[in-house]
Amino acid sequence: MGRTGICWDNATAESFWSKLKTEFYDRRTWPTRLEARAAVGTWIEHWYNRTRLHSAIGCVPPVEYEYSHTTTQDQAALQAA
């Protein structure tokens, strides 16, 4: 984080909150706060991280991107050894 009022420092977080609000919160209602919290966790783990395509990382889900990135690094380390 940088100085106050510098929007680019917080762009990733702002983008996430925007997606959460428009793709999730604004489309549903919950009887209790506990149910809303559980639903948010499920949305993040099952939709946002595993299914939703993210343009900043080549239009793949974050879990897939991390797996391919880790696998590539592991293979490079094995070849260097």
Q: How far apart are CA 22 and CA 73, in angstroms?
A: 35
Q: How far apart are CA 26 and CA 17, in angstroms?
A: 12
* pLDDT values of the chain reduced to their tens digit, one per residue, 81 residues: 556 666 666 777 888 889 899 989 889 888 999 999 999 999 988 888 888 888 888 888 888 988 888 887 767 776 776
Q: What global pTM score does this model have? A: 0.59
- Residue 6, phi then psi, degrees to nearest 5: -95, 100
Half-sphere exposure of 5 (CA within 13 A, CB side): 0
Determine the distance from the C-alpha atom of residue 28 to the mean position of all C-alpha atoms in its chain, rounded to a whole number: 20
Name residue 54's beta-bridge partners: 60
